[in-house]
Amino acid sequence: MAYTTNTQPALRSLVHELPAYAAGRRATDATIAALASNESHYDPLPSVLDVVDTAARRMNRYPDSAALALRTGIAAALGVVPEEVVVGPGSLGVLQQIIAAVCDPGDEIVFAWRSFEAYPVLASLAAARSVMVPLAADESHDLEAMAAAVTERTKVILVCTPNNPTGATVKHGRMSEFLDSVPAHVLVVIDEAYVEFVAEKEALDALALFRAHPNVCVLRTFSKAHGLAGLRVGFAVAHTELADGLRRVGLPFAVTALAQEAALASLQATRELHERVALVVAERDRVADALRRAGWAVIAGQANFVWLRADDTLRELIVDHLERNDILVRGYRGDGVRISLADGPTNDHVIAALGDRSSFEAAR
Ligand SMILES: *Cc1c(COP(=O)(O)O)cnc(C)c1O
């Protein structure tokens, strides 16, 4: 047998070429406002902490690999059946399962750009090709261009609404028309990581579209509104054949018992969650208004952050200036700055630091 001449184990070339996922910077101490990762700014709910505490006492045991209690709870809350619910280590974990289940190397995944940074990473990991369709001028998904980008190799279309990092949404009517124009064998994944924060008319009803279309799958997470980002749990609502495939490709025991029980308890804390979400939504409108008065162009985003479109010079000025004011935000090369919302005083600090836009323009 012939051996290679490598002197050490080699990585696949695909691994060298993977785009790195740039996580939002973490605050190193409590005086710094960590507004770079769209996390919940609130402490965990006491009822959720209690069940995690109890579950922690059984951590010598494996979790329920089928996550049946959680799937049953999610199904009851959403009006689907447990067979149509797949949980995973974050909705990102579930998305990786989706791609692993439906994409062969060289297949195409269509998504808007700029959108969630993890999409091209997951596509590359599966040796699938990312087909990135530029956002429209008003920050919305250009659904016509996305439909036109479908080829014989297209297996998945990702629609992120509200879109990370812009906060723009796809309205129900537009999505419905779009689905009518997409071939039936292409899986359309609606990523609704921020759905709880949507407060607009004609909002997308993704579950209704799931019921009406055999090629629709919905992704949701406990990381954002539910405030469980550190526990890693998200889920897909998928038709049974796909759901079954997703469970087969997932790692056994990937969602810990702590995460399963916390998620279930969080689902039951509807009132507290609604209160928290309502505060974020009110702050979102207040911050957006204040920034508009200061000369910034801010769209009516529907997530837990605000978006400032900016060229690279302006982006660097904003990110550096906020950092000097102990505020960590997320800059995107060529696109702009995303600022997660927090409590009133922290948001006021952001508004004050952004002062008025003309002083940034003058500093160019
Ligand atoms: C934060 C986010 C997710 C959720 O990630 P988890 O893996 O569930 O923490 C998924 N999609 C988008 C667009 C996000 O912004």
Predicted pLDDT of residue 1: 62
Q: What is the DSSP string of 39-56?
A: ---SPPPHHHHHHHHHHH
Domain termination residue (choose one: 234, 268, 302): 268
Q: What is the 3-state secondary structure (H, E, C) of 67-123?
A: CHHHHHHHHHHHCCCHHHEEEECHHHHHHHHHHHHHCCCCCEEEEEECCCCHHHHHH
Across the range 61-75, mean pLDDT stands at 97
Task: Specify if 66 maps to a domain.
Answer: yes
Output the CA 144–ligand 1 centroid distance in Å: 25
Confidence check: pLDDT of 15 > 80: yes
Verify whether ligand 1 is closer than 6 Å to residue 133 (CB atom).
no
Give tens-digit pLDDT for 96-142: 999 999 999 999 999 999 999 999 999 999 999 999 999 999 999 99
Minimal CA–CA distance to 254: which of 96, 80, 22?
96
DSSP conformational letter for 179: H
Residue 221 maps to which CATH number?
Answer: 3.40.640.10
Task: Specify if 245 maps to a domain.
Answer: yes
Give tens-digit pLDDT for 205-257: 999 999 999 999 999 999 999 999 999 999 999 999 999 999 999 999 999 99
Residues 90 and 215 in one domain: yes
Verify whether ligand 1 is closer than 6 Å to residue 193 (CB atom).
yes
Domain termination residue (choose one: 247, 268, 289): 268
Q: How crowded is the C-beta side of 121, counted as CA atoms within 13 Å?
A: 13
Question: What's the chain's average pLDDT?
Answer: 95
Confidence check: pLDDT of 309 > 80: yes
How many domains does the chain contain in total? 2
Look up the domain containing 174 and give its range. 46-268
Verify whether ligand 1 is closer than 6 Å to residue 94 (CB atom).
no
Residues 94 and 76 in one domain: yes
Task: Specify if 2 maps to a domain.
Answer: no
Closest residue to atom 1 of ligand 1, CA basis: 193
Task: Specify if 215 maps to a domain.
Answer: yes
Residue 30 maps to which CATH number?
Answer: 3.90.1150.10
Verify whether ligand 1 is closer than 6 Å to residue 89 (CB atom).
no
Task: Specify if 9 maps to a domain.
Answer: no
Task: Specify if 192 maps to a domain.
Answer: yes
| C-alpha separations of 328 from 9, 118, 310 in Å | 39, 20, 17
Task: Specify if 3 maps to a domain.
Answer: no
CA quadruple 99, 100, 106, 107: dihedral sign: negative
Residues 288 and 310 in one domain: yes
Residues 122 and 212 in one domain: yes
Task: Specify if 255 maps to a domain.
Answer: yes
Domain termination residue (choose one: 222, 245, 268): 268
Residues 209 and 170 in one domain: yes
Closest residue to atom 7 of ligand 1, CA basis: 90
Give tens-digit pLDDT for 182-209: 999 999 999 999 999 999 999 999 999 9
Does residue 252 sit in helix, strand or coil? coil
